Structure 1
Amino acid sequence: MEFESNDSNWDGVYYYPQLFGGVMLTAAVLGLSTSYFGGTMGFPTLPYTLPYLNNLQKKKREKRKVRVYMDGCFDLMHYGHANALRQAKALGDELVVGLVSDEEIVLNKGPPVLSMEERLALVSGLKWVDEVIADAPYAITEDFMNRLFNEHKIDYIIHGDDPCLLPDGSDAYALAKKVGRYKQIKRTEGVSSTDIVGRILAFIEDKNACDGSQESSRNDEPNGMNKSVEKSKHASNFLPTSRRIVQFSNAKGPGPNARVVYIDGAFDLFHAGHVEILKSARQLGDFLLVGIYTDQIVSEQRGPHFPLMHLHERSLSVLACRYVDEVIIGAPWEITKDMITTFNISLVVHGTVCESKSSVNGQADPYSVPKNMGIFRMLESPKDITTTSVAQRIIANHEIYEKRNAKKEASEKKFYEERKYISGD
């Protein structure tokens, strides 16, 4: 991709270097002094002209890469964030992401759920991101915009088609639009950080969903989910398509002699702990295959209020990770010999920090086959963060998030009411 330039000098030399060189050579053969041309017409002498023409041809071949910039809080990272960054990357050659600081988020939106360190791990772990600018400002000021253009060589600033207003009601990207360096992408429908917080807050209203007194009613509901959870799960409006999965996929399989590493899990509410364990797993082989449990399996293992994200949402979040090569959408609980043979799995790994795979209630060890084959390995989890611990942060400050969500839900409702055709991204 080439950055547009207004510089028209030497255009003829760019496109017709042989013709120009031929003219100069003909002049020399006819005995016309190149020094005459240099003195009267402003042309350089012939010995210096040909190397210069070669440099111009080389510059033409080595077009400068277009660098695009997109910023955000990226709190509670989900596939909507990943899809936005995928679209942004498609508008250039290199994607630079500005990560808004914790302090700026507190001032403009309230406390973030994830720390800067955790958000940085998530954003850096996305396959479309080339660079990250930490502690970016919430509002793009003229000084910061000039820094982007001059220091970071940014060509365009990108944002979604949903409005982004500052506390005073002004457009956060007005300056970029004014100088003609702004491009827009389509917002991904069906998910938002506000929506995810809403799903977590939903089961607070019915605390009995987590009580032992509700144990009997869990088994009466389809898939072991009670009505309050069914209600909260309907908050997801995501309609998965094969095209979206292809957009996120690496579209390639392992080589015949590749060392395939397999790791499975719920990967619910994709967080920094997931990124780090996937990175560690990928380092053990040539190809990382990730199994994503069905919603029913996750609910059976963790309780009726889980998973917070349904199967296809979780699959896209994992596929967006740069360390993942392929996923099994709806992986089985137990790893069988047939599965190991089918996918040519060389090593099965499991993290030390996990909320599933416990042998409670007399369940058989789901890793017994790879263990007996000598291809199983416990992998030290780099972080102790879990889906439940992230959810607990929101629950502990539920009053703050309820107020913030009430304000955000109004603006999101207006956006969806006014939205137009969006699937052509």
Structure 2
Amino acid sequence: MVQAIKWVDEIVPGAPYVTTLETLDKYNCDFCVHGNDITLTVDGKDTYEEVKAAGRYRECKRTQGVSTTDLVGRMLLMTKAHHSNIDEDLDYRKHTDNFGKGPKGHSPWTGVSQFLQTSQKIIQFASGKEPQPGDTIIYVAGAFDLFHIGHVDFLEKVHQLAERPYIIAGLHFDQEVNRYKGKNYPIMNIHERTLSVLACRYVSEVVIGAPYAVTADLLDHFRVELVCHGMTEVVPDKDGSDPYMEPKRRGIFQLVNSGSNLTTDLIVQRIIKNRLEFEARNQKKEAKELAVLEAMKKLEEEKQPGSPQS
């Protein structure tokens, strides 16, 4: 999965949890980068202490509203509150404390709010490249929910179908995915799925809220030469018709076997099976983060003018 991200050049499997100068030198790295959430060792030490002291550490602001913990929670709870197309009467400000970045009683890193996408964020993820003469424009569509290695394997196989592929991925709106998948799907809302798919090196463009049926208008608008679908079941459209009827009629439809049998359903089953382990792990992690947060708040208060320590 990490190798398939367009900004990654090389991966190191089995890297140590604590990043040392020796690790950076071994892989010819100038510095290491981490988000602004905390990572601690078992005894409570900063895992980046050594590289920070040497000036070989950089930090990126963490994307607000996105976390593995939150996604796990969505899988365990039968709720659709995370869907972007469903109105929720939530005033986030009522649920945040003065320190400011998370719900009361929750860590701003582990306990997170709804993720909202911006046009600037899309621009950062998008390649911005138009199809060039000689490119083969290929269209794929689906939920791409909990973007996983099965999706990556499929997109890689599609990418190999042409010498110069330009892959456009159509993402269905949350309500559409919920119609054909049911339960509380999609696990990731349309905003999150858009950025996940755009981050994949095999994808050139994303259609946000693509129609379920691959229509003549869509094919003509994007000048699509090939339409691909994986080996998963194709659910009929609302009127019972085949959503791939038009590309099949044109003779440009192709089934692609990714060789992977991983599905979002299987991932959800894994999470549910290990529910107690996940809950215990997350509670422990959040307790550590809250302790650090409390220390940070005290430090901020001490710096305020008029405080006894200032």
Identify whether the pair has TM-score above 0.5, normalized to the shorter chain. yes
Equivalent in the alignment of 1:232? none
Distance 1:406 1:169 in 2: 16
Cα gap change, 1:241 to 1:275, in 2 (>3 Å): same
Distance 1:415 1:340 in 2: 53
Equivalent in the alignment of 1:126? 5
Equivalent in the alignment of 2:100? none
Q: Per the alignment, in what secondary structure is the counterpart of residue 404 of structure 1?
A: helix
Distance 2:198 2:136 in 1: 19
- Is residue 2:153 matched to residue 1:270? no
Cα gap change, 1:416 to 1:366, in 2 (>3 Å): farther
Equivalent in the alignment of 1:146? 22
Moved more, 402-411 or 341-350: 402-411
For residues 83-115 of structure 1, the C-alpha deviation after alignment (integer angstroms, 9 at most, x for no partner) is: xxxxxxxxxxxxxxxxxxxxxxxxxxxxxxxxx
Equivalent in the alignment of 1:385? 262
Q: Is the CA contact 1:282–1:323 (under 8 Å) kept in the aligned structure 2?
A: yes
Q: Report the Cα offset of residue 198 of structure 1.
A: 1.0
Which of 23, 47, 53 aligns to 1:172? It is 47
Q: Report the Cα offset of residue 411 of structure 1.
A: 5.2
Cα gap change, 1:236 to 1:264, in 2 (>3 Å): farther
Q: Per the alignment, in what secondary structure is the counterpart of residue 252 of structure 1?
A: coil
For residues 337-389 of structure 1, the C-alpha deviation after alignment (integer angstroms, 9 at most, x for no partner) is: 1110000000000001x3x5223987211001000100000001221100110
- Is residue 2:258 matched to residue 1:394? no
Distance 1:274 1:381 in 2: 8
Asked which structure has the greater CA Rg, the reply is 1
For residues 307-332 of structure 1, the C-alpha deviation after alignment (integer angstroms, 9 at most, x for no partner) is: 01100100100000000000000011
Matched to 1:123, the amino acid is: V
Q: Identity of paired residues, percent?
A: 45
Cα gap change, 1:289 to 1:402, in 2 (>3 Å): same
How high is the TM-score relative to the length of structure 1?
A: 0.59
Distance 1:416 1:168 in 2: 17
Q: Per the alignment, in what secondary structure is the counterpart of residue 125 of structure 1?
A: coil
Q: Is the CA contact 1:162–1:415 (under 8 Å) kept in the aligned structure 2?
A: no
- Is residue 2:79 matched to residue 1:200? no
Q: Per the alignment, in what secondary structure is the counterpart of residue 262 of structure 1?
A: strand
Cα gap change, 1:179 to 1:270, in 2 (>3 Å): same
How high is the TM-score relative to the length of structure 2?
A: 0.80
Matched to 2:114, the amino acid is: N
Matches within 5 A, 1:232-251: 237-251=114-128
Distance 1:269 1:174 in 2: 33
Unaligned runs of at least 5 residues, structure 1 = 1-121, 210-222, 226-234, 421-425
RMSD: 2.9
Equivalent in the alignment of 1:46? none
Q: Per the alignment, in what secondary structure is the counterpart of residue 289 of structure 1?
A: strand
Unaligned runs of at least 5 residues, structure 2 = 88-111, 301-310
Cα gap change, 1:411 to 1:267, in 2 (>3 Å): farther
- Which has the bigger relative contact order, CA under 8 A and spacing at least 6? 2
